[in-house]
A and B are shown apart, each in its own frame.
Chain A
Amino acid sequence: MVAVALESLDHPTPLIVPDTPFVMAQENTAFVPDLMVVPVGATVTFPNRDAFFHNVFSYSPPRNFDLGRYPKGETRTVTFEMSGIVRLFCEIHASMFASIAVVNTNRSQIVPAGSEFVFTDVEPGRYRLLAIDARGRRGAQEITVGEQSARAIAMTLE
């Protein structure tokens, strides 16, 4: 899966941060979902739904944190105040990893890799289009949206 987001460079608008937190569960020794895109200021909860301990930590500069180890049924919460890619791991289970793209926009969506995606009601102006996958690979492209109703863009992640 790939998270895509469209950040306006000309018309920064106040972000709408939902009251209910985003949820990234630890389930069957995996982060579910393993890719998430949230606006800056959003809060994410990490409930442990497995029968054993899990841990969540990140060395990523936008949000360096370590939630410690906690058992089934407990949850931890992190608020992301800075945009960027946050790579998440469990120190107990090497196979568990996930990424959260913290973006300055509410225009974002998760799409399958290699698929097409559509943003509607986009005002004309300059934008940065971001794409991030679960392993933290990213792509970014500045685009200018004109008066035309639609525009097609192809992106490759690195």
Chain B
Amino acid sequence: MHLTLRVKFILVAGSVSIIALGSALVALSYQLERDLVRQIAEQLISAESTFTEWRRESQEYLSAEARIVANDPRFFAAVAESDPNTAIPVARQFQRLSGSQLFLVCDARGDKLAHLDSQEGVLSLDWPDSIPPKGTYLRLDDGLYLLSSQAVMVGSETMGYVALGRRVDAGLAASMGRVAGADVIFHDDALVFGSTLADPRSNKLIAEIRAQSSEYAESGSAQTVTVEGERFLFRSGLLHANAPARYAILMSLDQRLKAPVADLRATMLWLGTLALALAVAVSLTVARRVTARVPQLVAAVEAVARGDYGHEVTHKGHDEFRMVADAVDSMRHELAAQMEAIRKANAEKLDAERLAVIGKMASSIIHDFKTPMQVIRGVLDLTTDREMPADKRARYAAMVHFELERMMGMTQDLLDFARGETRMARRPTNVDAFLAEAVDAWNHIAESRGIKIEFSGQADTIAGIDKDKIRRALDNIVSNALDVLTEGGVISIRSRANGGVAQISIADCGPGIPAELHQRIFEPFATFGKTKGTGLGLAVAKKAVDDHGGTIRVESAAGEGTTFIIALPLATNGKTAERETQHAESGVSENEQVAA
């Protein structure tokens, strides 16, 4: 998948934001929970202090109540009678007024006068010794009571005792829990007297707390207990120094953590969304600003690639893009300078080569024309003899003709090479007929030298060719063969159609060409010791064949003769070729093709 720089910027910024926020959320949640647990532990200690204070105040309140009751004339008047019938109705009024759940009255001798509570008659006490004057906790048959007693005096005389008790139950736990801001459980071992929590949960909590209470006593710090998947921090202790009961004060961690953690998550979600949006917006802006300069740079580089060195890169700012833009500009200037230098060097080199070629050509022409001109002059001298037999005269005339033809051919080759001419007039041509015509022409010369030319035309096909150019190519090859053959030599010319091409082979039985020269014989001015010719013949032949889209190659070995094989593409449509052939033969040239 190919992503643009802009998308990558956004993805990176978004990913970084999400990872950063996720990490922050995890870290903050952990930190928050740790802080909150510490705070809750402190709150628990504070709650326990409040709870202890409240307990002390409750005891004092109860003592004060007992004192008030004992000092009320109505009350001590009733006690002074030392008669239950007198004491009970009065005691009931005072119990109602004090709101105490247990109300005990006895006379100075300890004889019970009144005992008011929910289960009348279960109490058995030895008055007054068993009840200390200060508040304490008393385990009675029907529960646990916070108790406070007071002597009932008339003047300085003790008339009896009164004790007020408050039951330690769920109601007391609820009010103490409310004041302390925590859950409270009163218990003695596994027996729960009162709790702010539901019974099953209280029992499970107490079981867990009892299991940990020894550790608690040693550490003195708040401890964690888990019940039904809910974590509580708790502290535990005796209700009173000698009380037959303990308290546990608890705070649910999970309930207290839930809201702040949820708040944090909500806040982080908002912040996260905001940060993500900002990150995307900023990265989009940055990416846009950064990538906006990329197309300019690309256009500049593409212009250089096209060779347009005048395309300036516009750039602003002082960042890395400025560096790239400067580098591209610098490269552009450097390339322009180098290309100009190369162009100049090439032009100079071409001029030098042209001069060299011209020199070579001049030298070649002078040298090559000398021999045929000497031949012609010699023949002309001989032809002044009027008594020369006619056949001999004709042979000399043929020699002159041949030498003139050779000179004209060389001239044409030089001209073609000098012009680099590529203009062609291709016509559909019957290859065998074309070759037969040429062989006839070559035979005049060959016969004069005692050389035999054999022709075997098996092509029987049409090729689109420029007959003049192909003829000159063949002339050059045959001319080379005639030059290297001596009397009695044979030149074998064959044609055949082979895989979409017309193949023409010209074989001689001359001295052959060494293998190392096979590739070089088609280079211009490559005479390789040959005394006749410009050295352009085979180069011209190769160019003609190449221009036709054909191939030319040589098969030869020293002493084994030489065979040139030319392959020319056939005309694609037989009928068309035939018609064009007729046109060609009648001299009409409607389908002249020009190849570049």
Contact = CB atoms under 8 A, between A and B. Distances in A.
Interface of A: 57-61, 87, 89-97, 135-136
Interface residues of B, number: 15
A60 B72 contact: no
B71 interface: yes
Contact of A94 (B72, B78, B90, B157): B72
The 7 closest A-B pairs by CB, nearest first: A89-B77, A89-B73, A59-B86, A94-B73, A91-B73, A59-B81, A59-B78
B107 to A, nearest CB: 13
Contacts, number: 41
Interface in B139-162: 154-155, 157
A87 B73 contact: no
Interface string B75-106: 01110110100100010000000000000000
Nearest to B70: A94
Contacts of B76: 89, 94
B401 interface: no
A87 B76 CA distance: 11
B86 to A, nearest CB: 5
Contacts of B71: 94
Contacts of A95: 155
Contacts of A61: 81, 83, 86
19 contacts: A58-B77, A59-B81, A59-B86, A59-B90, A60-B81, A61-B81, A61-B83, A87-B81, A89-B76, A90-B73, A91-B74, A94-B73, A94-B76, A96-B73, A97-B73, A97-B77, A97-B155, A135-B80, A136-B80
B155 A135 contact: yes
A93 B157 contact: no
Contacts of A57: 73-74, 77
B77 A59 contact: yes
In the complex, which of the residues A57, A93, A94 has the most CB atoms of chain B within 10 Å of its own CB atom? A94
Contacts of A59: 77-78, 80-81, 86, 90
Nearest to A135: B157
A87 B72 CA distance: 15
A135 B73 contact: no
Contacts of B83: 61
Contacts of B157: 135
Contacts of B90: 59
A96 B76 CA distance: 12
Contacts of B80: 59, 87, 135-136
Nearest to B79: A59
